[in-house]
Structure formats: C-alpha cells, structure tokens
Amino acid sequence: MRQEFQGHGASRGSALGRARVRLPHALEVAEERITHEQVEGELGRLHAAIDTVRHEMHALRERLHGALAHEVGEFLDLHTLLLDDPELLQGLDELIRTGHYAADYALRLQRDRIASVFEAMDDAYFRSRVDDIDQVIGRIHAALHRRDHDTSGVAGEILVTDNVAPAELAQLQAQGVMAIVTAAGSALSHSAILARSLHLPLIVGASQALLKINDGDALVVDGATGTVILEPNAEDLRGHRARTRELARERKQLHRLRREPTRTLDGVDIKLYANAESREDVAEAHALGAAGVGLYRTEFLFLQRNELPDEDEQFRVYRDVVLGMTGRTVTIRSLDLGADKADKTGLVLRDEPNPALGVRGVRLSLAREGLLETQLRAILRASGYGPVRVLVPMVSSTEEVRTVRALLRKVAADLRKQGHEIAEHVPLGAMIEVPAAAIALPGFIGLIDFLSIGTNDLVQYLLAVDRNNEALSDLYTPLHPAVLRVIRDVIRLAKSRGKPVAVCGEMAGDANFAPLLLALGLEEFSLHPATLLELRRAIRGLNLEGLRKRAPALLRAKDRVGIEAWLRA
C-alpha cells in the first residue's frame, strides 16, 4: 500500500530501489561465559577481528583520494586511533581473562562502559563521539561473525537507518547503495556534505521511515524535496523517470559549461576557485576551468604517519600542485590541525576539553618551534614554479598576523641567500573564521594581501552552535542576520583597501546562496570541484546590478524567514 514520508533533502538525486533497513545500533548480546581453557582462543578470535577491521579501514583509506580522502579520512583516522586505544583493548582483554566473558559480551560491556563516560561529559563534542565508539565496536562485532557491517549485497538498494557516519558513505556507494534515508541527522552535517560531494541522494530527518518501512519494500526517494514514497504507484514511477531524465539533461548541460566564463547576465566576471588537497583535485579543478586553487589543504601530509614531513617532502607536493595549475594561482593554507583531528605524530594535544576552541590552526603552528618555518620554506620554494599565495587559518589577533608576516620575510631572505629561486612577492592572506578576526580586521588588514572567509567555522563560532549537534541543527544556519552582516562588513572593508576576498566554506559551494553572496559584494568563491559547474550556471543566470540594489532589503531582514523570503523573491 502506497505511503509517503517527508524528511529533509540533504543531497539531490532521485532513486528507485529496494529498501534495506538497518535498525539503530545496539549491541544486544546475551551474557555468555567461557571456561578458563577457552580464554586464549577467545582472545585470539577478538584480536583477529580487530586486525581485520584495521586492514579494512586501511584498504578503504588507500582507495580514497582528493577531497573525499580529506572528508572521510578524518573519521577513518579517528576510528583507527580508537582501535589502538589502550583503554578499549586492555579493557576487552581484562573482561575475557578475568571475567571469562565471551568476546561478543565483552564488546558489549566495554562499549557501555566507555559510552557512559562520554555521555556524562558536559561538552557536546565529546558526547557526540559515542557514535564513533558504536561504529568501531559494531565493525569489530561484525568481523567476529565474518559479516561486512550488515551491508553485503546492497547493490540496487536504498539504505533506511537511524543515521549514517561519514566514514561509511564511500563504502556504501562502492557497494551499490542507490540512496540513503535516515530518521535523524542534519542537512548541514559532515555526512550530508560528503553525500553531496559523492552525488549520493540523501534524505535526513524522515522519522517515520524506520517505523513503517521493511526490508524489500519498493521505494522512490527524491533527495531534492526530501520525499520518500513506499510502494510507489504508476504516477510516482513516471515522476521518478522524469526526474532522472531531467538530471541527465542537467549533467549534460553542466558539462558544456566547463570552458564557459563565469559571467553574470550584466557582463561581470566572477572568479571561481577550487578547494583541493591532491593531484586529482587539482586536475579536476583545471579541467573545470577554475580560476585557480583557492584553498589547498596541507593536513593530509601530517595525518596517518608517525613523523612530521620534512621541508623537501612538503616542497615536492606543493611544487606539483603549482605545476598542475599551469600558471593559475594556488593558495596554500598552512597547517590546520587540532585535537579534533586524528594525529599520530604527537603534534596536536590530546584530550583538550574543547577542541574547537583549543590549540589549532595558526595557534598550533606558532606554538611548535620550527613547524611553520619549515612549511613556509617549502611553500616559498614552490613559488619559483608558479604563482602561490599563503593562507593562515584560525587567525584571531593582530599579533598572530604580524608574527607570521615577519617569519615569511625572514624565510624569503634566508632562501634567497641560499640560492633558491622564489617569487619576488608571495601574498599572505588570513582566514576570517573567528568573530574576533572579523572585528579586529581594521587593525591588521594592512599586514595582509587577501582574505578568505571560512563560513563553516564562522557560523559555528558566531552563533555558538555545534554544526554536528543534531539537537541544534535548526540553529546552525548561514541565513542569520548576524552572519550576513559580518560577511558584508568584511567584504566592504577588504574592497575599500583593495584586498581580494573570497568565501571558502560550504556556503560558497551552494548555488542557492549565490544571489545572497553576490548581493553582499562577493566576487570570488572557493569551493569543492564537485559543485563548481552548478555554481557557474547559477551565476550566469543572475544580474549583479539588480542584486546589489536589493542588498539593503536583504540586510534589513530580521530573521531567517525574512532572508529566505528575499532569496525566493
């Protein structure tokens, strides 16, 4: 019997397939004891399962590349660290050795013990880490029984579940999952962002789906509207086919825009830069006609390794990126690591009470002697092969900018004395993602050459809302009057001082926000290559002069509803 459920569209696309229902994770294992003679064998079973999971995650990590490796890799790295956590492993061994529990029940007890500690914490970030514990424990439990995390044979199916972790998405798509429907989740979560990059239809917040849908039911999902249809009728099937044809036409039309200029209806050229972190990203950015690389992430060089990359290793990577863009500007962001990202080198602090407000970004680079100098030397050496800019993350004070500027001058002088060929001038930029930086900008704008507004963190810090906290998903939005005013003020000041300014957060990659950002004065965007053509198409259909005339009405909006009404109009 046909039924229709409504959720929130998080990643566009239309899919038709069989339902695969995965109930909320709960390790419901009955208590089971073993004899003293069985202990070593049970420990062997458990350790073999843990090794299997390690190998699976390593193999998945190796298959990933580019921005996908960045988004998924952070979670895989965290899960790998959890697998090596002495508290987890020693606790499991102790339960089997002294409690004589079977491996399955030991997993359940240890999961509940660790989860209770996290759930009791005041910090929302650490409470959210229970999901990672469940993912890791679930993988081990699956390996004990030689199951592939309950996703074997899912080709052609639509996964219906309570939530989905970012680390799962690439694996699910590779296994043939057509779309995902979740009862919880947020359209602004890491999983949703990644699903859009993968072009995998995703609907979140369909709370009735798990209650009403069973394995094998036929489903049609529309990732744009958030609609899920159980046992679709003839009209529903016609609608799905029509959407599929329209998406195919759209992809063909977008492909034709690869070599077209990003120019508004009234003839104003807008620059579209690409966010990247690998050769593959750079090649895609070049092929799509990006103006350059607006944000090259360097973190991947420091993750999943036991020692820091030296100057020569970094130089070779940065040089290859510069050569790959064949004369187009490459903006290399200095290291942006913190305690929220997995790291084996001992570079970042562990167990910070609040990683989002901790030693990260430029704070970490300046705190570790020689770290930033080595990176700047590598970047400046790469500047001899093409135009390069240096972008500093997490800036919050004039002193930080002044220190980096002085170090950049020193490094340039040292390299020239040593006979290296470097650019005569390498522009220095600051990321505006901390409210203090936006407010203090008049005091240090003379020290920098360009700006990049990181809206992901700016929105989070400005609104005091964790974007990964589902309970606050309605509050985390760039469509807030305070956010728009800060962006407008930064753009206005930068333009008055002749400094280029771009937006490089998720907001830049959403074509729906293009009218708003153009109205606020933005003329440079930096975004994931996957959505570059969609943004180009949107901009080519807009009249910049008309949008600028409507900017005062936008800034008079008192709330999100008013801003959304402005966008619709």
pLDDT tens track for 222-255:
999 999 999 999 999 999 999 999 988 888 888 8
pLDDT at 30: 74
Under CATH, what is the fold of the domain 260-568?
Answer: TIM Barrel (3.20.20)
pLDDT at 275: 94
Name the least confident of 116-130, 323-337, 450-464: 116-130
pLDDT at 67: 46
pLDDT at 357: 79
543 versus 52: which is more confidently predicted? 543
Residue 512 has pLDDT above 60, yes or no: yes
pLDDT at 104: 85
Distance CA 199, CA 486 (A): 31
Task: Average the pLDDT over 121-143 and give the result.
Answer: 69
Distance CA 395, CA 454 (A): 11
pLDDT at 78: 67
Our answer to whether residue 47 is catalytic in this structure is no
pLDDT at 171: 78
Residue 261 has pLDDT above 90, yes or no: yes
pLDDT at 192: 84
H or E stretch covering 60? helix 39-63
Among the options 8, 190, 240, 480, which is catalytic? 190
> Confidence class of residue 25 from pLDDT cuts 50, 70 and 90?
low
Global pTM reads 0.73
> Confidence class of residue 363 from pLDDT cuts 50, 70 and 90?
very high
Q: Where in the chain is the domain with CATH 3.20.20.60?
A: 260-568
pLDDT at 31: 83
Q: What is the DSSP letter of 472?
A: G
Task: Average the pLDDT over 302-330 and give the result.
Answer: 91
pLDDT at 267: 96
Among the options 79, 149, 286, 504, which is catalytic? 504
Residue 542 has pLDDT above 50, yes or no: yes
Our answer to whether residue 190 is catalytic in this structure is yes
Q: Where in the chain is the domain with CATH 1.10.274.10?
A: 1-255
pLDDT at 16: 95
Distance CA 487, CA 504 (A): 12
Task: Average the pLDDT over 339-352 and give the result.
Answer: 58
State whether CATH 1.10.274.10 applies to domain 1-255. Answer: yes
- Which residues make beta-bridge pairs with 222? 14, 227
DSSP string, 323-392: HHTTTSEEEEEPP---TTS--SSS-SPSS-S-GGGSS-THHHHHHSTTHHHHHHHHHHHHGGGS-EEEEE
pLDDT at 346: 61
CB 420 within 8 A of CB 412: no
> Confidence class of residue 148 from pLDDT cuts 50, 70 and 90?
very low
pLDDT at 72: 55
